[in-house]
Structure 1
Amino acid sequence: MLLLAPGVAAQTVVPVARPSGAAVADTLRGGWYPWDPYQYQDFRRGVALLTGFDIEIERAIARIMGLEIDLPLREWEPYLAAIAAGTADIAAGATKSEERERYAYFSKPYRTETNVLIVRRGASARLPVATVDEMLEAFAKQKFRLGVIGGYVYADKRINTFIADPANKDRIVAVETDSRNLQNLLGGVIDGFLADRVSAATTAWRRNEASLIEEHPLRVSTDIHFMLSRASQTPERVGRIDAAIDQLKGSGEFHRIAPVYVMPVLTNQTIDTGWFRLLVFLGTVAFALSGVLLAHEGRYTVFAAMLLAVLPAVGGGIVRDLLLQREPIGIVRHPDTLLIVFGTVLAGMLIIRGAALLQAGPSARHLVLPAALASRSIEVTDAVGLAAFTVTGVVVVLDAGVQPLWLWGPIAAVLTSAFGGLMRDLFRHDRVVANLRGELYAEIAFVWGLAFALFLDWEGDRLQAQEIAFGVAVTVAGAFLSRMIAISHRTKGWRFS
């Protein structure tokens, strides 16, 4: 299935031979086309900055070769025609095909793409298919309205034949970008569209619509190359590009670029799910309740109770974002967290007042067990929050593009999960700061944050969403179980004596 790379469908590209003995210029005439996160313009700082995985790899290769590179915005089909005519020299993100090899050289693969059918959440069950043939047969039977990118060549000839068949033209909707396909899907214009899974996930993530769609389990992967014009380039230059790719991977620079542009999408795709959001919610409530209980014990005002609840819930995240220079900071991006904290404080105060009234009456003897159960429930949900915020801290470092991940990942994990509690205790002017003298807590966040960061560093060359999801689950489970073991054994943290 599946969209593997831009291609030519609507026009025939005529190759132009490079004159024998002609000089090869020291500037590579390239280009870019919208293909987030591989090639896109970043407007976050108010200025359009051309960047992306392919763009940064292309620039790094040009730098290694001692060449300049020109990257104007191009439409894909005219871009291919320019490659054939020799008025453009290089294009990134290309899939090798027999037609293209008539007018272009191809470098060795520098990455892979995995492609999927994107449908609305829950719709995959209506397409119980495991092969391309079964998928196309289901499309025909169900009169499936399929979104495609106009002018792109798909990996399997059967798919291209299906799209080109006049009998299917009324059910094929061709557009320019994945963003438009996503709009059509959510607007009911189409039933699904073919896309590179990373590009589709990025588009949905940036539009805050990832929860509305899902990938069909059927997927295909392919190698991605640089494509060079036979009319303006030589096999010797292709060999130099191959050597530059090897140098990039050998030096670790390729490994550093991948996490910045692709890894954040894959990890956010995992944590932007119902089960992880539930863990974050439970952890936020537990952190806020800890502040409510302390305010009750100290007979603080309502404002102080709010502050004691807010600090452990969001204080560490604020410090983390300021340290990483994240714009805007997380609490501004997601103000719903504050609403959860405020609601928890109000609910907690009502419950405490109600319990106090019952304690003064004949039902007081029945409150011992519920109070103990409530205390243990807060400990459990607090451990859930520790685990979830440990993962969140590392993912924020990925989003911010801060390196090295193995250093800043665990630091951000500790800040996100434990530093807010430390700020709360300092605010109370306790002689003994609980977060520094209690059971293992920040140490757990650091160790599991480090483990998760090292895993993501290793995963940088693989970029497999299923493996990343597994890594997130293991980190959450490991941090949670570590905290519960520390609670059950009342293990003390490392201390100087």
Structure 2
Amino acid sequence: MFYFILDILGTIAFAISGVMVAMDKKLDVFGVFIVAFVTAVGGGTLRDVLIGQTPLFWLKDLTYIVTIIGAVIVAVVFRSRMSYFKRSLLLFDTLGIGLYTLVGVEKGLAVGLSPIMCVALGTITACFGGVTRDILCNEIPVIFRREIYATACILGGFGFFILRQLPLEETYSYATAILIIIVIRLLAVKFKLALPNIYKST
């Protein structure tokens, strides 16, 4: 049940981030929904394909479609209250990667993958929806820039496996790992932390 709640919360966060990017690009209603949809399910779709779980999760359970539709409606109706676009987008995108990383890790554990592969699967789950969103909206995906993005997912994922070795309830391990990802991402943005640039300035 806890895993399902994480999945739904991640779906809401990513759907809203997709709506915000689409509205910034002034897409029509159909375009807004499509961008929100691929942002919310893109990473999970690739994850399920990689581990051979078919039908895909959103084909088996209409809860995801209903959740995305609801998130789109709420985000559109209250768009005027999201006055600081970039700040709001950062918040929902960060919540999304935190939640979806652990959803992907859980999926990996369920099929017996090693910790490293679980973290890789969690990072894919968290990042690929945003990559698809940015490509559709003609933006360079955040994961391909110098920003601390996928790195936060990786650190949070490994943090989860370290926490599992402690005498804690697994729920606390999940929650703490999600918090690690969110804090790393927000601190990286606040203090403009970035990965080293391999290109020399000319």
Name the TM-score class by shorter chain.
Answer: 0.7 to 0.9
The aligned residue for residue 415 of structure 1 is 124
Map 1:12-411 to 2 at 5 A. Answer: 271=3, 277=5, 280-352=7-79, 355=80, 371-372=83-84, 375-401=86-112, 403=113, 405-411=114-120
- Residue 198 (structure 2) pairs with residue 496 (structure 1): yes
Q: Partners in 1 of 2:13 and 2:75 — Cα distance?
A: 11
Of residues 484, 489, 492, the one that matches 2:186 is 484
Q: When you count strand as a share of all residues, which structure comes out higher?
A: 1
Q: CA deviation at 1:428?
A: 2.8
- Residue 149 (structure 2) pairs with residue 441 (structure 1): yes
The aligned residue for residue 159 of structure 2 is 451
- % same residue: 25
- Aligned partner of 1:298: which letter? K
Q: Partners in 2 of 1:376 and 1:318 — Cα distance?
A: 27
Q: Is the 8 A contact 2:22 2:137 kept in 1?
A: no
Q: CA deviation at 1:433?
A: 2.8
- Aligned partner of 2:178: which letter? V
Q: Is the 8 A contact 1:386 1:417 kept in 2?
A: yes
Q: CA deviation at 1:334?
A: 3.3
Q: Partners in 2 of 1:377 and 1:423 — Cα distance?
A: 19
Distance 1:327 1:399, change over 3 A: farther
Q: CA deviation at 1:441?
A: 1.1
Distance 1:396 1:280, change over 3 A: closer
Q: Partners in 2 of 1:335 and 1:312 — Cα distance?
A: 17
* Secondary structure in 2 matching 1:448: helix
Q: Partners in 1 of 2:56 and 2:176 — Cα distance?
A: 27
* Secondary structure in 1 matching 2:174: helix
Residue by residue over 1:438-484, the C-alpha shift from the partner in whole angstroms, topping out at 9 and shown as x without a partner, is 6211111112113324555x58xxxx7x4423322221221121122
What root-mean-square deviation, in Å, do the aligned CA atoms of Structure 1 and Structure 2 show?
A: 2.6
Q: Partners in 1 of 2:31 and 2:153 — Cα distance?
A: 27
Normalised TM-score (structure 1): 0.37
Residue by residue over 1:265-310, the C-alpha shift from the partner in whole angstroms, topping out at 9 and shown as x without a partner, is xxxxx535xxxx2x55444333222222222222222222112111
Q: Is the 8 A contact 2:21 2:137 kept in 1?
A: no
- Aligned partner of 1:419: which letter? F
Q: CA deviation at 1:496?
A: 2.8
Q: How many residues align?
A: 199
Q: CA deviation at 1:394?
A: 0.6
Specify every segment of 5 or more residues in structure 2 that has no aligned partner in the other structure, as ranges. Answer: none
Distance 1:346 1:406, change over 3 A: same
Q: Is the 8 A contact 2:19 2:35 kept in 1?
A: yes
Q: CA deviation at 1:377?
A: 4.2
- Aligned partner of 1:468: which letter? E
Distance 1:429 1:384, change over 3 A: closer
Q: CA deviation at 1:385?
A: 2.2
* Secondary structure in 1 matching 2:78: helix
Q: CA deviation at 1:421?
A: 0.5
Q: CA deviation at 1:419?
A: 1.1
The aligned residue for residue 424 of structure 1 is 133
Q: When you count helix as a share of all residues, which structure comes out higher?
A: 2
* Secondary structure in 2 matching 1:371: coil
The aligned residue for residue 132 of structure 1 is none
Q: Partners in 1 of 2:177 and 2:122 — Cα distance?
A: 11
Q: Is the 8 A contact 1:286 1:378 kept in 2?
A: no
Distance 1:315 1:330, change over 3 A: same
Q: Partners in 2 of 1:426 and 1:434 — Cα distance?
A: 10
